[in-house]
Amino acid sequence: MQGVILMSSECEKYRNLILENLENNCEEIYLPEHIHLCPSCLNFYKGVQQLKNNLEALGLVIKEAIPKIDISENIKNELKKIKNGEIVVREIIEREDNIPELAEWHSYIENEMDEVARYRCELKMEKSSYVKQEIEDLINIHHAIDEIGSVWECPELDEDLMPRIMEKIQEYKLFASVEKSYSEIDAIKEELYNLSRVVSDSIQDIDLTLKVTKKAREISQEQPKKDKLPQNIVSIRSVREEKEDKKYSFKNYAIPIAVAAVLCLTLVGVYLNNYFTQVAEIKQVQVATGDLGKDRESSRTDFYEKTQPFYMNDNLSSEEKEPNTEKRTRNRKNNYAEGLLSNWTKQLKDNALTNAGKLMRMGVWATLTPEEARELLQKSGLSPESVLGAIQFLPPDEARVVLQAAIDNNPNDAYLRYAMVQTLRKMDNVSEDELYAHLTTWSQLDPGNALPHFIEAELYFQNGEKDKALTCVTDAGNTSNYNSYATITAKAYMEALLAKGVDPETAKLLASASMGLHEVQTIEEIAQTLMDYGRAYEEAGDYNTALLIYEALRSLGIKVDMSSALIQERLAGLKYTQEAINAMFRLMNTTNSLSDAQSLIDFTQTLSEMITNYNLAMDSFYNLFDSSDPTEILRILNLYLSNGNVSIPVSPNNR
Amino acid sequence: MTKPSDNKAFDNTPRSSYSDEALMSLLARGEEMALTELVQRYQNEVFRFCYHYLRDIEMAKDAVQEVFLRLYIARDRYDNEKSFKPWILCIARNLCLNELKRQKLVHFETFEGYVENQNRENKGEKEGIEAPKTLTPFEQLIIKEKQKILWEELNDLPEEAREIVVLRYFEQLHARDIAQIMGSTEGAVRTRLHRVLKYLKERLDARGDFNE
């Protein structure tokens, strides 16, 4: 590196300054002093100036040598062409890499294209005479078909379809409504079933459920249905068997409901007070003396009136003065269970555990053997209720004798006729004339009651006497209510248990639990018979008869729901009302005669409201288990057992 | 066209002044008078449409009732952004095809019955159709002959081709609407139409008597 003069930082600074001001043509005299004093920097300055001058001279030479070119106009023209797009499109199309597709050709044929697409098609046609000819041919065919199509006239619609469309929509709305109702009632059934199951499971340590249920089933099985199929117009056995296999048939859950009711009472630790001292005061009679019916009626009346619920006491006098027999009978029915339970509310048991032993024995006490029943009937001083209760445990032929004696002495007692009819129906070799005679008398004694007419209709159907059956069905439709005497039967049952020596607490619980079981089964049988025969006639093409039967079934359901004191019965009524409506709609649809659809629609609305009420009832029933107030629990149970409606909003305490 | 709104003035507006889509909105809100209006507007058109498929007046009538029932059932699911007419015709098409399938009938029969229904007397009164009086008898004869030939070829079209021909040329539907009815795209419909025309051309060329 020796001999090389290293440029100082001062020289570097000034040389940069020279380069920066090169374009300014700075004169030499104005250069900084350093450049003048530093030969190296001065030489640098002169060299740079020389180079600049040479380049400028070269530039001038080149400028003179090259001809002038003005492309601005060309650019303007090209931009204008691009703006129009025509050239670009033409060039692209001419490259033939974007030929029209079939869809575009058809758009061209139908003259539904924009200009660019049209040009592309026309250009293609210009280039190919074959394509042009083909497209022209297609256009001709297009126009020819179009002409044919536009001239063609469809057969005219010869009527206004509006009414039929509206009818169809109304039908749909109704079906939708019925479907909804079905789902709602199914939900209620399921809830009831689950509810009873939960309660049953919760007290397995007491182990009462099975025994009471067993008893209830035994009662149910004591009523074998008469097998008269050979005489029937059609066989309905398979239909019935199929129905009975349904998972949650009403019969299946009715028993657990009753069990649940008893067990609910057990859980809250209720026991009876001295209510039965009132019962003991009832005038005692002997069956054979001939005073049974009369005394039974009077004692029953006394009993009902003595056992008004505590919250009804204020109204008792006015009720007693009510001259309307029907109303009084209704009050009796309701007051019976209310009377029982109102006493229970006074003494809530705090020693439930001490009663466990009693409850364990309940299953044994729940029934009377025929021998015990006979022994009981031998005793003197039995109350009429005890006698009637004891009859329930006798074989039908023996019960018939006792009942016949009672009827002979009290021919105008409707309940005795009912009991006799039910007894005769259990027997195999009974005179039909006798049965019909009792039914006729019963319906005369209780003219507003639809039940005897329905039972008679069922019998006539089973005997294949269609006309008589339909007459009975019509008669049933003309009645005002449905009375299955459930509370009287339950009371008689309780009295029999008491007479046997079952302690009052247990007898009352069992009587309450069994209340309605027989009666629901009766409804089930009648309704099922009507439904089966309705369907049979429907399948046979006798639509008028089928419709009449379905209408009767609907009437039965309505009457049960409106008249019954028990929620089990009312739910059964609701169930068969719905089935009847469903069947009627099916029939109307089959026969294409929906003229009565509107009335069914209206009724479905009513049904829907009823289901809503039951939903409310279910809510109240659930409150039974949520409430910590035993009084409230008992109030709800009281209402449930007495009149089936637990949604009554008036608290007894408020009364 | 008036759109439905919640104000009271809306309720006083005649239903006939509403668009189809607005009436569907009303129906979805529970105004069944809207359905009445829609039935009045479309029952003839839906009947005609169904008749193409079913070729039976009573069956077509039943289908019309069913179509409006389905419309009612689907009232809440209707998309107001979509055009009403293709939507209801799509319902009608599906219903007719199901009915044909259920009865094991041929999907879209031939056009043979159509010739009988053609009202030739009114032909000249139709808009856009050349009046026969401007043609010489010879020309009219040729046109008739050509139409006869065309009918024959239309009868031989495959089922699917017949359907699209009916929708386009007999129902005078736009390709866009046909696409919506058939659940396809407009381009696909145009392509199929073009293929049908080409197929017909080939058939007619092969006969040699159409273009003479």
Q: Could you state, in order of their start, the residue ranges of all structural domains in chain B?
A: 8-102, 126-207
Q: Are A335 and A341 in contact (CB under 8 A)?
A: no
**Interval A98-107 mean pLDDT:** 75
Is residue A292 within 8 A of residue A492, CB to CB? The reply is no
Identify the residue with better confidence: B78 or B207: B78
Name chain A contacts of B200, Cβ cutoff 8 Å: 141, 145
Mean pLDDT of chain A: 65
Percent of chain B with pLDDT over 70: 75
The winner for highest mean pLDDT among A167-176, A205-214, A513-522 is A167-176
Q: What is the pLDDT of residue B89?
A: 92
Query: Average pLDDT for residues A242-248, to the nearest whole number?
Result: 37
- Closest by Cβ to A150, choosing from B61, B172, B197: B172
Place of tokens 């449930």: A640
3-state SS of A278-335? HHHCCCCCCHHHCCHHHHHHHHHHHHHHHCCCHHHHHHHHHHHHCCCHHHHHHHHHHH
Encode pLDDT of B79-109 as tens digits: 888 889 999 999 999 998 888 887 766 555 5
Instruction: With cut-offs at 50, 70 and 90, classify the pLDDT of residue A305.
Output: very low
Is the pLDDT at A544 greater than 60? The verdict is: yes
Which pLDDT band, with edges at 50, 70 and 90, does A235 fall under? Answer: very low
Closest partner CB to B197 (pick from A101, A138, A162) = A138
Of the candidates B190, B33, B125, B212, the residue with the CA atom closest to the CA atom of residue A117: B190
CB spacing of A106 vs B193 below 8 angstroms? yes
Least-confidence region, from A194-208, A277-291, B131-145: A277-291
The stretch B165-184 carries a mean pLDDT of 89
CB contact under 8 A, A161 and B64: yes
Q: What is the pLDDT of residue A619?
A: 58
Rounded average pLDDT over A503-523: 70
Residues 6+ apart with CB under 8 A from A593: none
Are A339 and A273 in contact by the 8 Å Cβ rule? The answer is no
Q: How far apart are CA A185 and CA A617, in angstroms?
A: 12
Find the closest chain B residue to A172 by CA distance: B69
Chain B CB within 8 Å of residue A88 CB: no
Cα A511 → chain centroid = 32
Cross-chain Cβ contact B117/A101 below 8 Å? no
pLDDT > 60? residue A21: yes
B124 touches chain A (CB under 8 A): no
Return the C-alpha torsion angle B174, B178, B181, B185, nearest 10. -120
Lowest mean pLDDT among A347-351, B149-153, B193-197: A347-351
Spatial distance between the Cα atoms of B176 and A112, rounded to a whole number of angstroms: 12
Residue A270, strand partner residues: A348
Q: Which residues of chain B have a CB within 8 Å of the CB of A148? A: 118, 147, 150-151, 154, 169
ipTM of this complex: 0.75
Q: Given this structure, which CATH class describes domain B8-102?
A: mainly alpha
Report the gap between the CA of B9 and the closest CA in chain A (Å).
Answer: 27
* Calpha distance B149→B200 (Å, rounded): 11
CB B132 within 8 A of CB B92: no
Cβ–Cβ contact A163 with B under 8 A: no
The CATH class of B126-207 is mainly alpha
Q: Would you kindly state where each structural domain of chain A is located, as residue ranges?
A: 9-61, 86-145, 180-643
Quick: pLDDT tens for A442-491.
988 888 898 999 888 888 888 878 888 888 888 888 888 888 887 777 77
Q: Does A280 touch chain B (CB under 8 A)?
A: no
Q: What is the model's pTM?
A: 0.39
Check B169 against A148: CB less than 8 A apart: yes
Q: Give the model's pLDDT for residue B64.
A: 93
Least CA distance to A152: which residue of chain B?
A: B118
**Residue A524: pLDDT above 80?**
yes
Asked whether the beta carbons of residue B118 and residue A153 sit closer than 8 angstroms, the reply is yes
- Least CA distance to A176: which residue of chain B? B73
Q: What percent of chain A has pLDDT over 90?
A: 0
Most B CBs within 10 A among A101, A132, A136, A161, hence the mutation to make, goes to A161
From A244-258, B20-34, B86-100, the region with the lowest mean pLDDT: A244-258
CB-nearest to A150 from B68, B69, B126 is B126
Residue A182, pLDDT score: 61
Give the CA distances from residue A474 to residues A49, A331, A448, A549, B94, in Å, rounded to whole numbers and listed in that order. Answer: 134, 28, 13, 9, 47
Question: Could you tell me how far CA A354 lies from the centroid of its own chain?
Answer: 43
Which residues, in sequence order, are CB contacts of B194 under 8 Å at separation 6+? A102, A103, A105, A106, A109, A138
- pLDDT at residue B68 tops 90: yes
Other C-beta atoms closer than 10 Å to the C-beta of B34 total 22
Reported as a single tens digit per residue, the pLDDT across A567-596 is 667 777 777 887 888 888 788 777 766 666
Residues paired with B2 in a beta bridge: B18
What's the mean pLDDT when you consider all of chain B? 78
Contact B147 A159 (CB under 8 A): no
Contacts of B147 in chain A (CB under 8 A): 144, 147-148
A272 versus A62: the higher-pLDDT residue is A62
Structure tokens at A432: 């039909």
- What is residue B87's predicted lDDT score, i.e. its pLDDT? 92
Q: Note which residues in 30-59 of chain B have CB less than 8 A from chain A.
A: 35-36, 39-40, 43-44, 47-48, 51-52, 57
Q: Which of A132, A157, A164, A174 to mutate to test the interface with B (most CBs of B within 10 A)?
A: A157
Return the closest-CA partner of residue A401 out of A422, A423, A376, A429: A423
Of the candidates B69, B150, B194, the beta carbon closest to that of A144 is on B150
Read off the pLDDT of each residue in B192-199 and give the average, rounded to a whole number: 88
Confidence of residue A10 (pLDDT cuts 50, 70, 90): confident
- Residue of A337 and A122 predicted with greater confidence: A122
pLDDT in tens, A260-282: 444 443 333 222 222 222 222 32
A-to-B residue pairs, Cβ atoms closer than 8 angstroms? 132
Chain A neighbors of B128, CB-CB under 8 A: 150
CA dist A568 and A183 (Å) reads 18
The span from the CA of A443 to the CA of A430, in Å, is: 20
Do the chains contact at A138 and B198, CB–CB below 8 Å?
yes
Q: What is the mean pLDDT of residues A354-362?
A: 37
